[in-house]
Structure 1
């Protein structure tokens, strides 16, 4: 008669549950995979599928009962590791969204917002437009697979038994947040500079010939110039996006190294 002991059941459960929590935390917070339009069942199923493949390669787990205090603490650590990895790539996408915000404000489209299902809040039209292009590029270069591969590599650098609460990797993640402003502004700088020159020219024109009615032609003119420049920049934006994604993947490794 087939029988299973409590030790065997606990071993099977820990071998699946602890990696599953880390992988699912990444899927829930990472760009593209964590999109709110993706059903929760699909996310859980994807996490379980990856865990079933990866779990046999992780070796022996800590001899701890799953629902003991030590077991719950390990689950919390796995959750934090997955969250850290997902937020690292999320920062890259937020930098690209910030580009749309900067350009939209310069074009006078700061008021043009709609509900973004991914962020669960209102966002500018150009911000969502840039984010959509970034997602397409991310999928084309298999960025989602590279992101999962980077997470799986953390099982070697950050073992299941690691205590990551006081690790310096969180400082690395916080410092990487500055990329949102620096990279976003760098990407939007050509359009912002051109729109600034346009506004200065309109201001001079308004002083020289007030009867022209600069306020009537200023808004459509800045919008037209902004859209034309943005359209011309898109072919050059894609390599910049790819570079940002590579930086994000590398940063995931640095954050993981700091969580040891």
Structure 2
């Protein structure tokens, strides 16, 4: 008869529950895993499978009871680390969504909104189109596999321990949030600039010919110019998005490094 002592049982639970919590934290937030359209059963199955692969390679904290106060603190710490790493990639998609929102509002498509199951709110048609395009590029470049590989490597740079100083760089994660605004404006800049010139030309035309109906000709022209610019910049979006995803993976890897200075923002290549 096979018998397992309580200490051995605690050791087995510890070796599995800590990495599982961190993995599920990333899967719950990071795209495309964190999308609400992905069934919860698939997310849990993926997390369990990765935890079973990672757990045998990690040192076991055998003297820590998982249901004790310290065990719950370690559990919360691993969850925060996983959520923080997923937050890095989620910020990039939020910046892409913001670029679509700015472009759509400038085009006059503020009324063309849809329900976004990811954010549980409204989202413009242009934003949804750019997010879907970015998701396809992410899957094509295997960035989702790079995210999982970075997550597995994080158990070496940010080891599981009972210390509150786990090595996780919270400051860098917070600073990374500014990418929503900087990247969003850079991605939408070509469309916004073209529509600015279009609106100035329409203003001059209306001033020269007051009998023209600005609302009658203005909306079709701005929407047409916006779609034309969107079609022109789509072939050139691959390189900026590839650099953006690479920067996100590098940021995920650097979350386990000490903060020295705020990260510099290299210019996005086009």
More off after superposition, 74-83 vs 60-69:
60-69
More off after superposition, 209-218 vs 222-231:
209-218
Q: Which residue of 2 aligns with 1:34?
A: 34
C-alpha spacing 1:159/1:94, structure 2 compared with 1 (3 Å): same
Residue 199 in structure 1 maps to residue 199 in structure 2: yes
Q: Distance in 2 between matches of 1:87 and 1:2?
A: 44
After TM superposition, list the pairs within 5 Å mapping 1:106-255 onto structure 2: 106-161=106-161, 163=163, 169-255=169-255
Deviation string for 1:103-126 (max 9, x for gaps)? Answer: 111101122111011111111111
Q: Distance in 1 between matches of 2:165 and 2:119?
A: 27
Deviation at 1:60, TM superposition (A): 2.8
Q: Distance in 2 between matches of 1:2 and 1:210?
A: 92
C-alpha spacing 1:163/1:215, structure 2 compared with 1 (3 Å): farther
Q: Distance in 2 between matches of 1:85 and 1:162?
A: 20
Structure 1 gap segments, 5+ residues each: none
TM-score (norm 1): 0.96
C-alpha spacing 1:10/1:222, structure 2 compared with 1 (3 Å): same
Q: Distance in 2 between matches of 1:18 and 1:214?
A: 62
Q: Which residue of 2 aligns with 1:81?
A: 81
Q: Distance in 1 between matches of 2:10 and 2:29?
A: 28
Q: Distance in 1 between matches of 2:164 and 2:178?
A: 22
TM-score (norm 2): 0.92
> Over aligned residues, Cα RMSD in angstroms?
1.5
Q: Structure with the greater relative contact order (CA < 8 A, sep ≥ 6): 1 or 2?
A: 1
More off after superposition, 210-219 vs 37-46:
210-219
Work out the number of aligned pairs and report it.
259
Deviation string for 1:120-160 (max 9, x for gaps)? Answer: 11111111111000000000111111001111111001111
After TM superposition, list the pairs within 5 Å mapping 1:62-101 onto structure 2: 62-101=62-101
Q: Is the 8 A contact 2:158 2:166 kept in 1?
A: no
Deviation string for 1:72-106 (max 9, x for gaps)? Answer: 11101000000100001101111111110111111
2:237 is paired with a residue whose SS is helix
C-alpha spacing 1:162/1:132, structure 2 compared with 1 (3 Å): farther
More off after superposition, 108-117 vs 22-31:
108-117
Q: Distance in 1 between matches of 2:164 and 2:256?
A: 10
1:221 is paired with a residue whose SS is helix
2:105 is paired with a residue whose SS is helix
Q: Which residue of 2 aligns with 1:4?
A: 4
2:67 is paired with a residue whose SS is coil
Q: Distance in 1 between matches of 2:120 and 2:163?
A: 32
Structure 2 gap segments, 5+ residues each: 260-270
1:35 is paired with a residue whose SS is coil
C-alpha spacing 1:244/1:176, structure 2 compared with 1 (3 Å): same
